[in-house]
Amino acid sequence: MNDNAIVELIDIKKSFGSQQVLRGVNLRIMEGKTTVIVGGSGQGKSLIIKHILGLVTPDSGRALVYGKELNKISKKELKDIRTNFGVLFQNSALFDSMTVYDNVALPLRERTRITEEETERIVNEKLKMMDVEGTNKKYPAQLSGGMKKRVGLARALVLDPKIVFFDEPTTGLDAAKSNEIYRVFSRTQKKLGYTSVIVSHDVPKIFKLADYVALLHNGIVRDCLTPDEFQLSDDPVIKDYVETTMGPVYSSEMEV
């Protein structure tokens, strides 16, 4: 394994009943970089993230995080690896019977031994960073979609994780809200320097954030390239995807 690759998926296959979703996924996530996974709906992009998180066991293949194979380690070791993770789920997965404050404070209360004053300081700082200060006492059901995402992001980042996973961070948001999320994302990554894995449909906007772009098609990752290489790739499937999502103008050599 390359020294810089902190996550490596090797020939991951996964079926549900008779439907084979992943047919041999190979992917490497580089430390400190942003890798974006793109592809059509229902291709299994979120499933790839779930394999890396250890929430799903592959039928065959290996999922390595920090060089450890997730389905061969103990529950304790898996838990230790997960202490490095921050996850923003597709639907935010906020605890709906808790207030925003308690949601963001939960990892601090359960995983650290800091005082309640310190917890309050960190939670308020993170909520401010996400521009959702003042929502402390609200419940997730009282928030808009964009606010939920930002609270989810605050919760994901509250323990300063080393790897952050974003599952469709802007799906269902309008252009202005998406831009806001991207701004928050780019600001926090600069500040905290985490490795990130993003599943997104928001092409080409998401390319501005990406160091690497991986296309999942028919259960395999066609390639994992830099955004420039991706847009100019000769692979017919990638080429087709780029033209469908971005139009010919983006794939032309005139693009700056």
Q: Which residues in this chain contact another protein in the complex, by CB under 8 A?
A: 50, 53-55, 79-80, 82-83, 85, 87, 89-91, 93-97, 106-107, 110-111, 159, 165
CB 53 within 8 A of CB 82: yes
State in angstroms the smallest separation of the CB of 83 from another protein.
Answer: 5
- The β-bridge partners of 19 are 16
State in angstroms the smallest separation of the CB of 209 from another protein.
Answer: 21
Nearer to another protein, 122 or 220 (CB): 122
Tokens encoding 204:
């080409």
Nearer to another protein, 85 or 212 (CB): 85
| Rg over CA atoms, the chain | 19
* 226 Cβ contact partners less than 8 Å away, ≥ 6 residues apart: 210, 211, 212, 213
State in angstroms the smallest separation of the CB of 64 from another protein.
Answer: 17
Nearer to another protein, 7 or 94 (CB): 94
Report which DSSP code applies to 84. Answer: T
Torsion of CA 161, 167, 168, 169, to 10 degrees: -30
State in angstroms the smallest separation of the CB of 195 from another protein.
Answer: 15
DSSP 138-184: --GGGS-HHHHHHHHHHHHHTT--SEEEEESTTTT--HHHHHHHHHH
Nearer to another protein, 75 or 190 (CB): 75
How far from 84 is each of 52, 69, 73, 153, 156, CA to CA, in Å? 12, 16, 16, 15, 11
State in angstroms the smallest separation of the CB of 158 from another protein.
Answer: 9
Distance between CA 43 and CA 56 in Å, rounded? 16
Q: Centre a 10 Å sphere on the Cβ of residue 60 and count the other Cβ atoms it contains.
A: 12
Nearer to another protein, 21 or 106 (CB): 106
State in angstroms the smallest separation of the CB of 54 from another protein.
Answer: 8
Nearer to another protein, 166 or 230 (CB): 166
State in angstroms the smallest separation of the CB of 171 from another protein.
Answer: 14
Which helix (H) or strand (E) covers residue 57, if one does?
Answer: none
Task: Tokens 């990406």: give the residue.
Answer: 210
Nearer to another protein, 25 or 105 (CB): 105
